[in-house]
Amino acid sequence: MGHRDPTALAVMRGVKAEGGWAVVCTEQVEVHPISEMTPLVEMRLWDDADIPAAVCVAELIHRHGALAGCELGHNGMSVSNFYSREVPVGPRCLPISAVTSAVDPVQARRMDKDDIRTVRRWHPAAALRARTAGFDLVYVNSGLLQCITDQFLSRLLNDRIDDYGGSLENRVRLLREMIEDMKNAVGDRCAVPVRLSTADLTTGLSFDRAEVEDLIGLIADLPDLFDFHLAGWEYDSRTSRFADEGHGEEFLKGPKQLTSKPVVAVGRYTSPDAMVRIVRQGLVDLVGAARPLIADPFLPRKVEEGRLDDVRECIGCSICVSGDYTMSPIRCTQNPSMGEELRRGWHPERIRPKTSGARVLVVGAGPAGLECARALGQRGYPVVLAETSDVLGGRVVREAALPGLGAWIRVRDHRVLQIDKMPNIELYRARRLDAAEVQEVGAAHVVIATGTRWRRDGIGRRHFTPISVQGTPVLTPDDLMDGSRPSGRRIVLFDDDHYYIGGVLAELLVKEGHEVDLVTTASEPSTWTRNTMEQGFIQARLLEMGVTLRTHPSLERVEQDMATLRCVFTGCEERVPADALVLVTARIPDDDLAHDLRVRQADWAAAGLHSVTAIADALAPATIAHAVYEGRRYAEEFDDGPVPTLDRPLRRELPALSPMP
């Protein structure tokens, strides 16, 4: 939310502190306009005008007894400076490699000694502003190869022949100087930690293990705390599809022994057991968390109170990261209150009590229905939750059974566990309700959370009318998730969805012995997963598995086991054999029940029924994160009156106007 939504940011950080974390840190904070991260929306301490926003953050963190950490960083050759239009700087004149785009037509210029002196001045100046704002820890952020000090450390990016290049001692010089500058500036009152990469997993060539150890040895006693992670960000923050909890642990073994200063590290440690283990094994003194904290800001309090069952474990989907890439306020699949603390007033643990005794029927126990029932139950309403299947969880159960998505089942498990504790929630399992049965339940309000089905006709982004298919079997993602399999060997999978499901199904089919042609109009498979930093991993996996990637054509028609593909640019056609088709196109809301109930609206009064509301996928298909959010939203806004529809105000923060010229 950064500088665009500063109050929302502060309130969100305050909720983390309330959750019991010892230290709550900001995101990376820009020290100067020559290192601004547009289009990412980060906090800024460019000049004194940014101090008031920083004061709010520190104050709200302090209000709950936590220490406030400010992660100052200069991103050197990893920014395009599209807002400030300044020329980026770095150890070497090379094309920039920004977080959001490695191909911006911008090069950084090589810094001379004067530049280095200037950049050195910016850090302590920003640190003083952070101290004025009230922060207790002021970081030198050197990690991920995104920060200028890491770029000086990198053997690849630093080709200098002056005393900032060549030997490790020289390449570490800027980092050493910055730590010293910061200690001199704010060390009287603030701790100065350094955030450092323990490995370069992007190329492996910037520094090796021995060099990292030498580096820590060289600065061992300078910072007050070492904070370790991996370079680059897509490796450090891999999703559960590609890395297990604690995936960076092998790079943690060793560094702590090289310093007497305390060590903290992240690694998507989502379970308290794993957190305790890495402390006991002496890998760290403090456990760091980003995603586990986003999913459950109250994790420490729950551990402290022995409520381990209540911890809402991160599923490792990185929808949170997509907020950075889409320049939208952060969101989370597991924690729908994330990013909504101010503008909607939601809290990860609390919700306002009921305002009536109205009984609510929630139909469908997918992520939306489960969250809706859970939150209504928490408010104290009498709730009936009905589900066709005897297994709760809807799409999450089906998708979590696919390759790599097992951790997603936590979306269901957490909610079912909470629902089981609430006597005011009655569960109808294995009950597919029709309109008459809904009315017999006698609920005043009905929530239709019945989900969605994938289309079988190919209509979606590319085609607005059905794709002509003759003589070739067609399967949808639902068919595959329900256990159906194509009988032939050669499968054409048309991925018109562009998120994860097409790639995951290609994996599934190849694992089961099929040959898959993945057809996408995009220039790469699963292109939206760039926003979750997974696209490169997906592409590598599909290529390694032997999936044939056909990028840029659309699937046009299929006749007698031959699929015709057409290039979206040239219109050129090619034909590929297809024993079966898998169509991953659009989805259709499963809203028959809502429709049937509306048709019977004349009977509602007699049945005591006041409202019928379709939510989430049953209204308009989207992500699991959106389904959870929609379920929560209904429960948050529900009162025993008219149910809000489209006409709801959205609280926002307005920029301060400059004086008119």
Positions that interact with ligand ADP (CB under 6 A) = 363-369, 386-389, 394-395, 432-433, 449-452, 590, 593, 616-618, 627
Upper half-sphere CA count for residue 218 (Cβ side, 13 Å): 19
Residue 590: which of ligand ADP, ligand SF4, none does it interact with, CB under 5 to 8 A by kind? Answer: ligand ADP
Query: Would you say 334 or 527 has its CB closer to ligand SF4?
Result: 334
Shortest reach from residue 416's CB to ligand ADP, in Å = 12
CA–CA separation, 43 and 38 (whole Å):
11
Task: Return the DSSP state at 566.
Answer: E
Based on the shown chain and the rule CB under 6 A, indicate whether residue 407 belongs to the binding site for ligand SF4. no
Residue matched to tokens 């020559």: 34
Residue 317: which of ligand ADP, ligand SF4, none does it interact with, CB under 5 to 8 A by kind? Answer: ligand SF4
Shortest reach from residue 321's CB to ligand SF4, in Å = 7
Question: Which residue among 206, 333, 554, 585 contacts ligand SF4 (CB under 6 A)?
Answer: 333
Query: Would you say 294 or 635 has its CB closer to ligand SF4?
Result: 294
Shortest reach from residue 269's CB to ligand ADP, in Å = 28
Size of the site for ligand SF4 (CB under 6 A): 13
CA 220 distance to own-chain centroid: 33
Q: Residue 427: CB partners within 8 Å, gap ≥ 6?
A: 384, 385, 387, 419
Shortest reach from residue 262's CB to ligand SF4, in Å = 25
Strand partners, 383: 360, 425
Binding mask 278-307 for ligand SF4 (x = CB under 6 A): -------------x--xx------------
Residue 313: which of ligand SF4, ligand ADP, none does it interact with, CB under 5 to 8 A by kind? Answer: none
C-beta separation of 94 from 77 below 8 A: yes
Structure tokens belonging to residue 169: 């001692």
| Cis peptide preceding 39, ω within 30 of 0 | yes
CA–CA separation, 162 and 6 (whole Å):
41
Structure tokens belonging to residue 221: 């006693």
Shortest reach from residue 626's CB to ligand SF4, in Å = 12
Structure tokens belonging to residue 282: 């002496």
Q: Helices 51-62 and 6-18 sit at what angle, rounded to 10 degrees?
A: 20
Residue 320: which of ligand SF4, ligand ADP, none does it interact with, CB under 5 to 8 A by kind? Answer: ligand SF4
For 274, counting Cβ atoms within 10 Å of its Cβ (0-12 exposed, 13-18 middle, 19+ buried), the class is middle
Residue 395: which of ligand ADP, ligand SF4, none does it interact with, CB under 5 to 8 A by kind? Answer: ligand ADP
Based on the shown chain and the rule CB under 6 A, indicate whether residue 318 belongs to the binding site for ligand SF4. yes
Question: Which residue among 202, 334, 378, 535 contacts ligand SF4 (CB under 6 A)?
Answer: 334
CA–CA separation, 197 and 175 (whole Å):
13
Residue 449: which of ligand SF4, ligand ADP, none does it interact with, CB under 5 to 8 A by kind? Answer: ligand ADP
Residue 332: which of ligand SF4, ligand ADP, none does it interact with, CB under 5 to 8 A by kind? Answer: ligand SF4
Residue 333: which of ligand SF4, ligand ADP, none does it interact with, CB under 5 to 8 A by kind? Answer: ligand SF4
CA–CA separation, 32 and 84 (whole Å):
10
CA–CA separation, 107 and 93 (whole Å):
7
Going by C-alpha positions, the residue among 584, 621, 319, 616 that lies closest to residue 461 is 584
Question: Which residue among 320, 351, 597, 628 contacts ligand SF4 (CB under 6 A)?
Answer: 320
Query: Would you say 44 or 312 has its CB closer to ligand SF4?
Result: 312
Phi and psi at residue 23, to the nearest 5° = -130, 135
Query: Would you say 132 or 389 has its CB closer to ligand ADP?
Result: 389
CA–CA separation, 106 and 96 (whole Å):
6
Based on the shown chain and the rule CB under 6 A, indicate whether residue 332 belongs to the binding site for ligand SF4. yes
Residue 432: which of ligand ADP, ligand SF4, none does it interact with, CB under 5 to 8 A by kind? Answer: ligand ADP
Where do the H-state alpha helices sit in 140-282?
A: 148-153, 168-171, 173-186, 209-219, 233-236, 272-280
Question: Which residue among 319, 342, 396, 519 contacts ligand SF4 (CB under 6 A)?
Answer: 319
Going by C-alpha positions, the residue among 25, 650, 661, 9 that lies closest to residue 329 is 9
Question: Which residue among 17, 128, 201, 317 contacts ligand SF4 (CB under 6 A)?
Answer: 317
Residue 294: which of ligand ADP, ligand SF4, none does it interact with, CB under 5 to 8 A by kind? Answer: ligand SF4
SS3 187: coil
Catalog residues that contact ligand SF4 under the rule CB under 6 A: 291, 294-295, 314-320, 332-334
